A = this chain, B = another copy of it.
Amino acid sequence: MTVKLPELKQNFTESLSQISRFWGFPKGMGAIFGVLYLSPTPLSLDEIVEQTGLTKGAISTEVRTLARMGLVHRSSKLGDRKDYYEAETDFYQSIRSILKERQNSEFDRAVRSVQEMLTQLESDSVSGSEADVKFVRERVKALQEFFNAIDSLASAVIKLESLGITNVTRILKVLK
């Protein structure tokens, strides 16, 4: 038995919606990316409206954050007042932009705050029983080191300049 292409496309966008929601993004974002990703040509805002069922307003705002994350690109044709959007197909490129975007975020602020605590703890400027301070210092330090490791891993991914999937497989071999 055969499946019709438009039907399959719809299933695809639904899957992307779920994935989007799972990672804490609005499901509409996944849907928008989905239709753009499966479109051979860039789509206008109204075409996205038609294919997702969302309203212009919602798409207008969500497409902007998608662009900020580097997952879609906005372009325009000469002599055409519409904006056109297309999906980024290099996912590693996207990851890079997302990670850059997350820089200077609430997350980073919190991590920096932990870093400051550690320096305080290491400079003996914390009052309390010797043993207690030592214990807390070691725990905080361990967490800080973990954060650093994650951070290095992230920036390592950022540095992977469009070498694609083969690179990841290379890493995995090393891990064996």
Contacts and interface: CB of A to CB of B under 8 A. Distances in A.
Interface of A: 1-6, 8-9, 11-12, 15-16, 18-19, 21-24, 37-38, 40, 89, 91, 105-107, 109-111, 113-114, 117, 120-121, 125-129, 132-133, 135-136, 139-140, 142-143, 145-146, 149, 152-153, 156, 159-160, 165, 168-172, 174-175
Contact of A8 (B5, B109, B121): B121
Contacts of A106: 18, 21-22
Contacts of A111: 15, 19
B175 A156 contact: yes
Contact of A159 (B5, B18, B175): B175
Contacts of A22: 105-107, 110
Contact of A5 (B11, B37, B91, B126): B126
18 contacts: A1-B125, A2-B126, A4-B126, A11-B117, A15-B114, A18-B107, A18-B110, A37-B143, A38-B140, A40-B132, A91-B142, A146-B165, A149-B169, A152-B168, A156-B175, A170-B174, A171-B174, A174-B174
A9 to B, nearest CB: 7
A1 B126 CA distance: 9
B89 A142 contact: yes
B165 A3 contact: no
A61 to B, nearest CB: 20
